[in-house]
A and B are shown apart, each in its own frame.
Chain A
Amino acid sequence: MDTLVQVLVNGVGKGAVFALLATGFVIIYKATETINFAHGSLVLVAGYVAYEVKSDHGWLLGVVAGVLAAMLFAFLVERVLLANARHAHADSLAILTIGIDVVVVTEISRRLGTAAAPFLGDPYDTKPIHILGASVARTYVVALLVALVLLGAFFLAFRYTSWGLAMRAQSENSEAAALMGIRSWRVTASAWAVGGGLAGIAVIFLATNDIGGGSGLLASHTLAFAAFPAAIIGGLTSPGGAVAGGLIVGLTDALASQYVSLEFAKVAVYLVMLAVLVVRPSGLFGRVEQLRV
């Protein structure tokens, strides 16, 4: 029983971090129809800057600088590269982000040099919390709470601010939105910045020993790949779906690795995704595309 509780809490905590990643991934997809293979790079940029700033200016400033750096980096990727490749096919844009990813990963691991496993550390103590007889690492609980607050704020903004309105309008119909006076570049660039910011928050938890495991920062790049199935399960056009998808991925991963095997856990995530897609080809909450003849 206590093992199950522990697995569930860990799964939900990890899922909350995946939800942050997947939500950013979906916002970027909605605004620019780009599958962002460089999402792991956004995570890495934030983590690297935080790691460098932290040593002189402390954890909090480090994390703030890291998140801002990821937002700026994502913003620049959109403005400098994607905005200038408007005529490219959507698949080409996805491959372009792979190019970015290769360069970023190489440069950051080069800069890290022989510091093989840097960790961001955390400001709270590492004593486990006891819930229903199970001992759970604090990181999972903090991750869950932070994700709840952040995603809550995001959804309020998405629904009630003019930015959110512009965002939704553009993803409905970008031509009509332009005619109505919504400046498209602001929407797309801010979408990337928000995606970068959410990835930047995620790395605080990914680069810990509890969730990311021992490779620290560099493992977070690999872990960010989980945003893929999470976003697809939820439905690529639905930020709410991304949250659900993140939780499903986190829970599936935790349960399968505990009760079947570690190797099977990664497959299990994708099998669940396949099952969802067979029943609902556009994900759980995705908009069903209409065919026009």
Chain B
Amino acid sequence: MSDTSPPAPATDAVLEPEPSEPVGAVQVRPARSRRTTAVKVVLAAVAAVVVFLAPAYIDAEYLTVANWVMVGAVGGMGLTMLVGQAGQLSLAHSFFALVGGVSYAVLAGPRDEASYTGLGLPSLLAAVLAVLCAGLVGAAFAPISGRLRGIYLGVASLSLVFVGFWLARELPSLAGSTSSGRYAPSLNLFGFDFGELHPELHVLNVPMGKVERSFWLYAALTALAYVLGRGALSGRVGRGWRALRDNEAVATVMGVSVVRQKALAFAVSSAYAGLAGVMVVWWYDGLMKPDESVDFGTYSTTAAISYLAICVIGGLGSLGGAVLGSVVVFGLPQIIQLVTSSDDYSGTGFTPGVITNFVFGSLIVLIILFEPRGLAGLGARLRAVLRR
């Protein structure tokens, strides 16, 4: 829903170097922006109505998928800002999601559980603090991120995934046991609980259960993440990051503090990942469970690479693209699994799992082959065709 508003020129052109603004543009803007503001308000209202009514029409399993897509979208937006706008490659996004999830479980978890540490904070406060924690950990990576560039930075950050995997196993009282995990409460917003069925609620005669409620919550969080990201990118922060991306030396000469900008970019990006991590915990009905192996699972190297795939497929640096990328990377495998079935028990058959992987893998190859700027680039092309 956050894609329905037409992106402003400033962030639309993220892949090209920022065009220098013509002087005249300053006078044109106010008039133009008043109109676009009106359109935006209307569109946002429509989007809100659609989101409010959607759970009454969409089956629970597809809402579950939609919620998972929004987890990927929020995480992806954070990473695409770091990689596409600030030019810092990171393969640690799944680690920061783990930090967010564990922090939430510890902060919101009940105090009286024997085997798990919990502070029993209200869930909203815990979620906000968990996001902050993830951001701080991201900033703490500055001494290393400040020294490295490109693929070296990417693989260096990958080591955080390994460290996180190891720490989570060493500290089961915080992260939950690797076998059955630990449970954290769902979000309770001023008496309205997103995980419970109280108070009961019907929309169009359809009872709003956990999944339906979570859909509203996730849509709101995705919109919030999008709006905040847009704000950051179109302002001073975004300009600093792009200067960093285009040429560190020039940026330094221009008075941009490279180390501070890198730390800021990592902090913001990790905070987004932390929010995604909290959303993962809610998605699993409050279950926080570390992975059984570092290669596969929710916080694994595979997940880290998936977040990067979201950014590339969506179009590096584009926030709306991250949402589309997440539809492909997080959504598609689950959807194909839902709509296909097979009675082939030979072991070499084309089961739903096999088909899913084939479609997913080839789609990645095709998108990059034919639209290197990702789905955002495809969108830009479509718009250009329509305008003609």
Chain A positions within 8 Å of B, measured between CB atoms, are 29, 35, 37, 81, 84-85, 87-89, 91-96, 98-103, 105-107, 110-114, 222, 225, 228-229, 232, 236, 263-264, 266-267, 269-271, 273-274, 277-278, 281-283, 286, 289, 291-293
Contacts and interface: CB of A to CB of B under 8 A. Distances in A.
B368 A96 contact: yes
Given A84-B369, A111-B348, A277 B144 contact: yes
B137 to A, nearest CB: 15
A82 to B, nearest CB: 9
Interface string B235-259: 0000000000001111001000000
B354 A91 contact: no
A286 B248 CA distance: 20
Q: Chain A: interface secondary structure? A: helix
A48 to B, nearest CB: 13
Nearest to B308: A95
Q: Which 8 A-B pairs have the closest CB atoms?
A: A99-B364, A270-B159, A102-B361, A103-B361, A88-B372, A113-B347, A106-B357, A99-B365
A102 B347 contact: no
A88 B308 CA distance: 15
Contacts of B358: 103, 106-107
Interface string B352-388: 0010011011111100110010100000000000000
Contacts of B349: 110
Interface stretch (B57-65, B162-170, B209-217): B162-170
A212 to B, nearest CB: 14
B158 interface: yes
Give the residue among B156, B295, B301, B374 with the most A Cβ atoms within 10 A: B156
Contacts of A106: 354, 357-358, 361
25 contacts: A35-B151, A37-B305, A81-B365, A85-B368, A91-B312, A92-B312, A93-B368, A95-B308, A95-B313, A95-B364, A98-B309, A99-B365, A100-B361, A102-B360, A102-B364, A103-B357, A103-B361, A103-B365, A105-B357, A106-B358, A112-B348, A225-B295, A266-B166, A281-B147, A281-B152
A92 B163 contact: no
B149 interface: yes
A98 B368 CA distance: 11
Given A35-B151, A236-B151, A273 B159 contact: yes
Contacts of B294: 266
B173 to A, nearest CB: 17
Contacts of A291: 247-249
A245 B49 CA distance: 57
A236 B153 CA distance: 12
B69 to A, nearest CB: 18
B364 A232 contact: no
Contact of B369 (A85, A94, A264): A85
A228 B305 CA distance: 13
Given A84-B369, A92-B312, A222-B295, A277 B360 contact: no
B367 to A, nearest CB: 8
B125 interface: no
B89 interface: yes
B155 interface: yes
Give the residue among B249, B308, B369 with the most A Cβ atoms within 10 A: B369
Contact of B253 (A99, A232, A273, A293): A293
Given A95-B364, A222-B295, A291-B249, A273 B156 contact: yes
